[in-house]
Amino acid sequence: MILCTKLLKVKKEEESIDRLAKKISKYLVKINNLSLTDDQHKLLNHLFYTVSDIERMGDHAENIAELAEFKVQNNVAFSDAAQKEVEGIMTYVTNSMDYAIKSRSEMSWEYVQKAKEYEDLVDYVESELREKHIERLITNKCQPSSGVVFLDLLSNLERISDHADNIVGYVKKEL
C-alpha cells in the first residue's frame, strides 16, 4: 500500500513536471519572438534545453518508481551489498542534480564545479557497480531476476546525472 502511494506521488509529480515544462516552453517561445540580443537568444536556448533536461529527469524518476513497483510485485530482492550500493549512488545523483539546479538559479561557478564532480563520480561508480553486480550474478550471490532491475536502476540514475551535467554545461557557457 505504501509503495502504491509513493508510486502515485511520483507519477503525479512527473505529470506536474510535464505540464510545467510545456508552460515554460510556451512562455520562452513568446520571449524568443521579441527583439533580443545574441546573448539573450543564447540564454533562451539554454533555458529551453534546461527545461527539457529537467523533464527527462522526471521521466527517469518515473522509470525508477516503476522498477521499485516491479521489484516489490515480483519479490525481487537485492543483496545487502547491492542495496548499500544503490543508496550510495543515489546520494551522488541527488547531489549532482541539486548542484546543477543551484548552479542555474544562482549562476555559480562553485556549484557548476560541484555538480560536475558528482556527475563524474556517478559515472565512475555506475561502471564499478555494474562490474560488482555481474560478479555477484556469476558467483550466485545475487538472484538473476534482480540483475535486470539493478542494472536498469543504475542506467536511470546515471542518465539523471547526465541531464544534470547538461544543465551545468549550459551555465558554464553563460558564466
Q: Which long-range contacts (CB under 8 A, 24 or more apart) does 21-24 make?
A: 21/51, 21/52, 21/54, 21/55, 24/51
Mean pLDDT, the chain, rounded, equals 93
Q: Which residue has the higher pLDDT, 93 or 5?
A: 93
pTM metric for this prediction: 0.92
Q: What is the pLDDT of residue 1?
A: 55
Burial class (CB in 10 A: 0-12, 13-18, 19+), 79: middle
